[in-house]
Amino acid sequence: MLRLGMHSFLTGLLVLLAGPALLRAAAGGQTPDFSEVYDAIRAHLAGASEADLNRAAVQGLVSALAPKVSLLTSPSDGPETGAGPPLVSKSSLFDDALAYVRVERVGPGLAEAVRSACQQLAGTNQLKGLVLDLRYADGSDYAAAAATADLFLKKERPLLNWGAGMAQSKPKNDALTAPVAALVNRHTARAAEALAAVVRETAVGLILGSQTAGQAMVAQEYPLKNGDRLRIATGPIQLGDGSPMSGGVKPDLAVEVNPLDERAYYADAYKGMPPTNHLAAALGLTNQFNGTNSPPRPRYNEAQLVRERREGLTPDAEPPPPRNHQPEKPLVRDPVLARALDLLKGLALVRQARS
């Protein structure tokens, strides 16, 4: 049983590690014989036990077939349970009419949570756009993804099929009609990917960011003797137009961000990131100007100095704000969010011009 289970892993491991010559041979269909490879490794690899070989085989096989195969060691997060992170972790309003709703997890009740957040943000005004942030969102409840997409549709139409038949939107008069900008990244997974794809396929909105994880699929879980579970893909998720989801969802507007910076922006959209100088960083130097450095002071002529002294100011003091001065609004520095807000502002202007 061990030899049969090791075949795919050891062959793949040999191809990856043995160099260009073996890569060319494998590409030509001349795969090394498993028994020969396995016997040589077991006979000559110092200190390798049967348990070591089994562990390596499992890890290698699952890794090679990911994301279609995954090993789960945590409790199931399927549709039958509502346990886990909050569904909506943040909501706010930009420019008085653009709603921002951050989805943490696609699970039961997400549609109600998104509608409630939008209603609270709108107040007595009509929203001109909605940013649905699905970055780092996960979840396996495809029914919740379909129900959330249904919020934005007035008429009945096919939405999503995850192996339980095609889910349909319901006719309604209270649909959320604001255009949607869905934000995604490489950590947007499973049902969150499906939600973004349905938003685009139904023409509710556009997708911005980077390609998603590619984990949206019909899957079955199989319990293992040690208590873990093996999740195996049994088919693709199907969109309303009949097209299958595979390989991740590509954004309509690609906005690539360094992964570390993206995490920082996700935590604080207004965070100012210092310019990166890789050479200076390698030498242990810092930027000449950073957030702690003060900008250079303007030069003053004699008349300005006399006026400032008469008014009780010093050259180093900050000038008083002008009368009726309005404080500047903080600048959104998150590249993906800023692009989405600009897009929604533009769509609002187009709608206003046509009305």
pLDDT at 29: 67
Of residues 137 and 12, the one with the higher pLDDT is 137
Of residues 73 and 264, the one with the higher pLDDT is 264
Asked if the structure places residue 160 within a domain, the reply is yes
pTM of the complete model beyond 0.85: no
pLDDT tens-digit readout, 46-88? 988 888 888 888 888 888 888 889 898 866 544 445 556 799 9
pLDDT tens-digit readout, 152-211? 999 999 999 999 899 999 999 999 999 999 999 999 999 999 999 999 999 999 999 999
pLDDT at 84: 67
Least confident of 114-118, 218-222, 295-299, 344-348: 295-299
- Out of 267, 291, 312, a domain closes at 267
Q: Say yes or no: 173 and 33 in one domain.
A: no
Domain extent for 22? 2-65
**Total domains present in the chain:** 2
Query: How would residue 17 be classed by pLDDT, with cut points 50, 70 and 90?
Result: very low
Q: Detail the DSSP E strand segments found in 172-282.
A: 180-184, 205-209, 217-223, 229-236, 238-239, 253-254
pLDDT tens-digit readout, 305-348? 666 666 665 555 556 666 666 667 789 999 999 999 999 999 99
Of residues 338 and 20, the one with the higher pLDDT is 338
Q: Helices in the chain by DSSP H: which ranges? A: 2-17, 20-27, 34-44, 50-65, 110-122, 142-150, 191-201, 259-267, 278-282, 302-310, 335-354
pLDDT at 317: 59
Q: Say yes or no: 112 and 193 in one domain.
A: yes
What are the counts of helices (DSSP H) followed by strands (DSSP E) for the chain? 11, 12
Q: Say yes or no: 233 and 191 in one domain.
A: yes
Round the average pLDDT of the chain to a whole number and report it. 83
Q: Say yes or no: 97 and 230 in one domain.
A: yes
pLDDT at 35: 75
Q: Say yes or no: 124 and 199 in one domain.
A: yes
CA torsion angle for 103, 104, 109, 112 (degrees, to 10)? -30
Of residues 280 and 67, the one with the higher pLDDT is 67
Asked if the structure places residue 328 within a domain, the reply is no
Nearest Cα to Cα of residue 128 among 275, 345, 327, 332: 345
pLDDT at 352: 85
Query: How would residue 296 be classed by pLDDT, with cut points 50, 70 and 90?
Result: low
pLDDT at 58: 85
pLDDT at 41: 83
pLDDT at 322: 64
Chain centroid offset of residue 258 CA: 13
Quick check: 213 pLDDT over 80? Answer: yes
Q: Say yes or no: 44 and 111 in one domain.
A: no
pLDDT at 253: 98
Asked if the structure places residue 354 within a domain, the reply is no
Q: Say yes or no: 126 and 235 in one domain.
A: yes
Q: Say yes or no: 119 and 242 in one domain.
A: yes
Q: Is the dihedral of CA 57, 62, 65, 69 positive or negative?
A: positive
Q: Say yes or no: 102 and 179 in one domain.
A: yes
pLDDT at 61: 85
Q: Say yes or no: 50 and 184 in one domain.
A: no
User: Which strands, in side-by-side order, build the sheet including 180-184?
Assistant: 88-94, 98-103, 129-133, 180-184, 205-209, 253-254
Q: Say yes or no: 22 and 153 in one domain.
A: no
- For the record, the structure tokens of 237 come out as 């998720």
- Out of 267, 285, 304, a domain closes at 267
Nearest Cα to Cα of residue 139 among 173, 107, 92, 169: 107
- Percent of the chain with pLDDT strictly greater than 90: 55
Asked if the structure places residue 337 within a domain, the reply is no
Of residues 125 and 273, the one with the higher pLDDT is 125
- Out of 249, 267, 285, a domain closes at 267
Which residue is associated with the tokens 């807000």?
Answer: 341
Quick check: 230 pLDDT over 60? Answer: yes
Q: Say yes or no: 223 and 117 in one domain.
A: yes
Quick check: 13 pLDDT over 80? Answer: no
pLDDT at 16: 42
Residue 216's domain is classified under what CATH number? 3.90.226.10
